[in-house]
């Protein structure tokens, strides 16, 4: 069995200093060596200035969060040194441009690595060239051959011309040789994994899931942190025969995907909470007209503009209450990027079969995080189920678009098929689509249609994968989460085990329909229950209680815009196990 390798480095600087580029180069190097990777970028919503802190964690084992510790810190400016030096512990390395940054007082055993960038670059005026010098230093520190970095730089810069490539390779080599002469590398070199891995963001996973599901129309208005879905769709639209439209606002976006879906095209859009607020009337319209369409809400810290570049799980009740009235919809909160990819085709099949809208809840942590994945885990040809769809033939003249069937699901004819003329409108209607407001408003017809639509969801949860308990059944504490908290809870449980506390894990993906019976059985059998949420008010707890009547023993909540780290969960569990509190809010040490 291979020795466990787990390493985290962080690059800090200001917007405009090019933090993302060295991060992506390193990510490619690591993933191509077959190492598992989880990267999180804490940044502010300004073009230049502010503080950016990119954490890249790698391991020869799967990693489910960006972790707790830092082994190496790269300071591109003084602010990073001042903010984060105290995080470094014995054995760590801190590298910085000694021309512009003054080191602070570090803990014992931390190696301070000043880099004379101006000297190594021949006085270059290119302010971001320090990043490439730092890459050379990192490459040596991790025990890698320089050729590995040379190849990565060629991939990154060759399209910019030979002169640019040569400059970057030259200064990277200078950084590598300087580090070799002046600094001590880590005792353990970066290993090779079993096979090369690919990289993606959660937004790319959502977009690729849409392509795999057969999406042929995508519409969006750019809104962080969902814009990456639009970028991927636009870049690949021609090759995949997908029509992509950037609209003037989210109202237009939602109505366009509903219109496209009405014609039989699988249609999707993505936005964040503020944009979804504008879409909610259209969500209800899709429900009334029984048109399947998929809406993605990538949550960020709210309300209103909130903190556009920070993460939160604060939109649950917004999504549950989207539009007015009682209507059927599917709501899912994927656990990670791969689950997001797989959820999109599943959501489309459910929406097509039950002729209703579906909502996928991601958040900034998933959508803008960068992760390694095994391409063999992707199924680009998933099963496609379009449900009761009529695409050809001639009706005998008695077609009823909203026929009151035993299942509540009516035959759906694509517009334009001869003999299947029908009315589709947002008003309540009878079986043939005639608006009941066009006549004496018949309460019997209204009740019949409401009940018909509701029957579509009768027992639907039984055909879906129910949540299950992960870990020992007799654990001392059961941690309950939803959506993106899966990974950090999983790693926290491993840490708790090392401290003598056994924990198991109940993670909820399907919000609607909610598997009330299974959740009730698991929670009532638990010795102690704690819910973990990335919001202030415990939105999922309130929803679970409304569906089951259950209470829990404790809460761990975070709402400062940054995601949980494993030790936050560990600290919260330990405090609650000894009875110090039943409501733990962790302090954020790194992502500030």
Count of other CB atoms within 10 angstroms of residue 427: 13
Q: Which pLDDT tens digit goes with each residue over 278-324?
A: 999 999 999 999 999 999 999 999 999 999 999 999 999 999 999 99
Identify the band that residue 396 occupies on the pLDDT scale cut at 50, 70 and 90.
confident
Mean pLDDT of all residues in 542-566 = 97
Measure the CA–CA gap between 6 and 571, rounded to whole angstroms.
Answer: 21
**pLDDT the model gives residue 334:** 98
Identify the band that residue 48 occupies on the pLDDT scale cut at 50, 70 and 90.
confident
Nearest Cα residue to 378 out of 409, 413, 339, 404: 339
pLDDT at position 391 over 70:
yes
DSSP class of 330: E
pLDDT at position 590 over 80:
no
Mean pLDDT of all residues in 223-228 = 97
Q: Which pLDDT tens digit goes with each residue over 499-534?
A: 999 999 999 999 999 999 999 999 999 999 999 999
Q: List the single range of 126-130, 491-495, 569-573 with lowest mean pLDDT.
A: 126-130
pLDDT at position 397 over 90:
no
Handedness of CA 89, 90, 91, 95 (dihedral sign): positive
Classify 167 as helix, strand or coil: helix
Measure the CA–CA gap between 86 and 105, rounded to whole angstroms.
Answer: 8
Q: List the single range of 126-140, 230-244, 575-589 with lowest mean pLDDT.
A: 575-589
Q: Are 328 and 287 in contact (CB under 8 A)?
A: yes
**pLDDT the model gives residue 79:** 96
Q: Which pLDDT tens digit goes with each residue over 319-338?
A: 999 999 999 999 999 999 99
Measure Cα distances from 91 to 107, 137, 178, 184, 446 in Å. Answer: 10, 16, 20, 10, 71
Residue 131 host element (H or E): helix 129-141
- Could you give all domains of the chain from N- to C-terminal order, each with its CATH number? 6-182 (3.40.920.10), 203-368 (3.40.50.970), 388-458 (no CATH), 466-584 (3.40.50.920)
Q: What pTM was estimated for this model as a whole?
A: 0.96
**pLDDT the model gives residue 36:** 97
Q: List the single range of 126-140, 271-285, 427-441, 476-490 with lowest mean pLDDT.
A: 427-441
Nearest Cα residue to 424 out of 233, 290, 302, 271: 290
Between 59 and 393, the more confident residue is 59
Identify the band that residue 588 occupies on the pLDDT scale cut at 50, 70 and 90.
low
**pLDDT the model gives residue 46:** 78
**pLDDT the model gives residue 591:** 45
DSSP annotation string for 226-273? SHHHHHHHHHHHHHHT-EEEE-SSHHHHHHHHHHHHHTT--EEEEE-H
Q: The sheet that has 370-373: what strands, in order across it?
A: 111-115, 93-97, 72-75, 6-15, 49-59, 36-42, 370-373, 198-201
Count of other CB atoms within 10 angstroms of residue 168: 25
Q: Where are the alpha helices (DSSP H) in 384-538?
A: 443-455, 486-498, 516-525
Q: Which pLDDT tens digit goes with each residue over 86-104?
A: 999 999 999 999 999 999 9
Q: What is the mean pLDDT of the chain?
A: 95
Q: List the single range of 68-72, 190-194, 206-210 with lowest mean pLDDT.
A: 190-194
Measure Cα distances from 389 to 217, 283, 423 in Å. Answer: 18, 21, 16
**pLDDT the model gives residue 393:** 80
Q: Which pLDDT tens digit goes with each residue over 251-286?
A: 999 999 999 999 999 999 999 999 999 999 999 999
pLDDT at position 129 over 50:
yes
pLDDT at position 138 over 50:
yes
């Amino acid at each position: 069995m291979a020795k466990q390798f787990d390493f985290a480095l962080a690059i800090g600087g200001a917007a405009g200093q090019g933090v993302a580029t060295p991060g992506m180069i390193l990510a490619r190097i690591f993933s191509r060596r077959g190492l598992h990777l989880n990267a999180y970028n804490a940044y502010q919503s300004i073009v230049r200035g502010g503080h950016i802190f990119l954490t890249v964690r790698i391991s020869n084992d799967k990693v489910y969060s960006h972790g707790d510790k830092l082994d190496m810190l790269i300071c591109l400016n003084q602010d990073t040194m001042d903010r984060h030096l105290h995080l470094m512990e014995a054995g760590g390395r801190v590298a910085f441009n000694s021309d512009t940054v003054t080191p602070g007082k570090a803990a014992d055993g931390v190696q301070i690595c000043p880099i004379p960038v101006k000297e190594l670059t021949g006085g270059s005026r290119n302010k971001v060239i320090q990043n490439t010098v730092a890459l050379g230093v990192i490459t040596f520190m991790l025990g890698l051959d320089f050729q590995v970095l040379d190849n990565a730089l060629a991939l990154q810069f060759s399209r910019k011309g030979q002169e640019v490539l040569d400059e970057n390779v030259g200064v990277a080599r200078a950084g590598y040789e300087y580090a070799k002469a002046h600094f001590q590398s880590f005792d353990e070199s970066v290993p090779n994994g079993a096979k090369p891995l690919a990289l993606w963001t959660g937004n790319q996973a959502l977009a690729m899931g849409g392509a795999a599901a057969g999406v042929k129309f995508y519409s969006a208005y750019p809104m962080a942190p969902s814009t990456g879905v639009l970028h991927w769709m636009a870049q690949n639209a021609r090759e995949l025969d997908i029509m992509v439209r950037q609209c003037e606002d989210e109202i237009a976006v939602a109505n366009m995907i509903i219109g496209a879906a009405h014609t039989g095209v699988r249609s999707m859009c993505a936005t964040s909470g503020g944009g979804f607020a504008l879409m909610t009337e259209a969500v209800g319209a899709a429900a009334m007209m029984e048109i399947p369409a998929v809406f993605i809400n990538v949550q960020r810290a709210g309300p209103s503009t909130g903190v556009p570049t920070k993460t939160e799980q604060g939109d649950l009740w917004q999504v549950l209450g989207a539009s007015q009235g009682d209507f059927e919809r599917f709501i899912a909160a994927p656990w990670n990027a791969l689950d997001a990819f797989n959820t999109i085709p599943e959501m489309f099949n459910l929406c097509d079969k039950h002729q209703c809208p579906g909502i996928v809840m991601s958040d900034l942590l998933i959508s803008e995080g960068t992760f390694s994945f095994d391409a063999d885990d992707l199924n680009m040809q998933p099963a496609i189920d379009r449900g009761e769809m009529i695409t050809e033939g001639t009706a005998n003249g008695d077609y009823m678009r909203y026929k009151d069937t035993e299942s509540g699901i009516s035959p759906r004819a694509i517009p334009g098929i001869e003999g299947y003329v029908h009315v589709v409108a947002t008003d309540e209607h009878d079986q043939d689509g005639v608006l009941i407001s066009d006549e004496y408003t018949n309460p019997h017809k209204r009740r019949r249609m409401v009940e018909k639509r509701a029957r579509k969801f009768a027992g639907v949860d039984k055909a879906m994968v129910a949540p299950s308990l992960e870990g020992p059944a007799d654990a001392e504490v059961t941690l309950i989460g939803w959506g993106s908290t899966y990974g950090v809870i999983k790693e926290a449980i491993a840490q708790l085990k090392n401290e003598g506390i056994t924990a198991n894990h109940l993670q909820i993906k399907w919000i609607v329909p909610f598997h009330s019976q299974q959740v009730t059985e698991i929670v009532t059998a638990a010795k102690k229950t704690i819910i973990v949420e990335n919001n202030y008010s415990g939105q999922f707890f309130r929803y679970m209680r409304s569906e089951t009547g259950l209470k829990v023993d404790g809460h761990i909540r975070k709402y400062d815009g940054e995601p949980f780290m494993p030790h936050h969960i560990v600290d919260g569990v330990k405090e609650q196990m000894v009875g110090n509190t039943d409501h733990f809010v962790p302090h954020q040490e790194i992502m500030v």
